[in-house]
Structure 1
């Protein structure tokens, strides 16, 4: 199976990330995913990605609540590279609230991993390549395709 590039960032749920219910606001997930996406394209040395890659679809599935002070990890992985589009899969995991100085509810959560984290949200984001001055999607430039594919081959070979 091919391994595509991925990147993760860790954040803490801040007060501004919560809503009147006391858990994360839905927009916080997207901010954390975008931060991981930025890290991914920095690691691929593709700084020209963001100004030329508008989103055309976002799908978010919410699985668990995240609370003020809780640590989260957002991971983004390239899922598919098309001629003009790029689809990334993402996952946002909440870590044990005990790790954040909070209290645990004591429940056993489905989807919890060995590190005590559980999936709070997952989904996909699809972007297209629209170079500056264009109004429609264009093929990805060769240097972009090469950077993604070279990393994919290196990952698959274990290098």
Structure 2
């Protein structure tokens, strides 16, 4: 069995994601994480199948430093745990090898027919648990 899926992406902080002082607004961290998650899903080939079926359950972020308008940060996102119907990512957002934020994002697999969470389809579970590092 391989290692869990992961990816590292780079992204610039946009003006609309800053506070009045030009530093990142706390909600920008989720956009950085979702950018990495989108890239990961596309690399795994499950983007169109997965996006409308993975609601967010929990987001935890520890802010360690500021990111300023137009600065580029790297987001490292890795599958940390895959449960029956949920998944937890661990992430770090850094600039110049200095961690600016770290945390976790928990998502679930949603069955639109029942309106409830459901077990992961086996092919998606396998990708998350064994696909290893993906090119960002």
1:19 is matched with: 19
Q: Does 1:129 align with 2:109?
A: yes
- Specify the SS of the correspondent of 1:41: helix
- CA offsets 1:45-71 (integer angstroms, 9 cap, x no match): 112121111011110110000111211
2:35 is matched with: 35
- CA offsets 1:120-152 (integer angstroms, 9 cap, x no match): 101000011112222221100111112223415
Larger Rg computed on CA atoms: 1
Query: How well do the aligned residues superpose, as a CA RMSD in angstroms?
Result: 1.5
> Is the 8 Å Cα contact of residues 12 and 71 (structure 2) preserved in structure 1?
yes
In structure 2, stretches of 5+ residues that fail to align are none
- Specify the SS of the correspondent of 1:91: strand
Alignment of 1:2-151 (within 5 A): 3-47=3-47, 48-95=49-96, 117-151=97-131
- CA offsets 1:89-118 (integer angstroms, 9 cap, x no match): 0111123xxxxxxxxxxxxxxxxxxxxx21
1:114 is matched with: none
> Alpha-carbon deviation of 1:21?
2.5
Distance 2:85 2:15 in 1: 38
Deviating 4+ runs (over 3 angstroms): none
TM norm structure 1:
0.76
TM norm structure 2:
0.88
In structure 1, stretches of 5+ residues that fail to align are 96-116
Structure in which a larger fraction of residues adopt strand:
2
Q: Which moved more, 1:33-42 or 1:133-142?
A: 133-142
Select the structure with the greater relative contact order (CA < 8 A; seq sep ≥ 6).
2
Distance 1:41 1:121 in 2: 22
Distance 1:149 1:14 in 2: 33
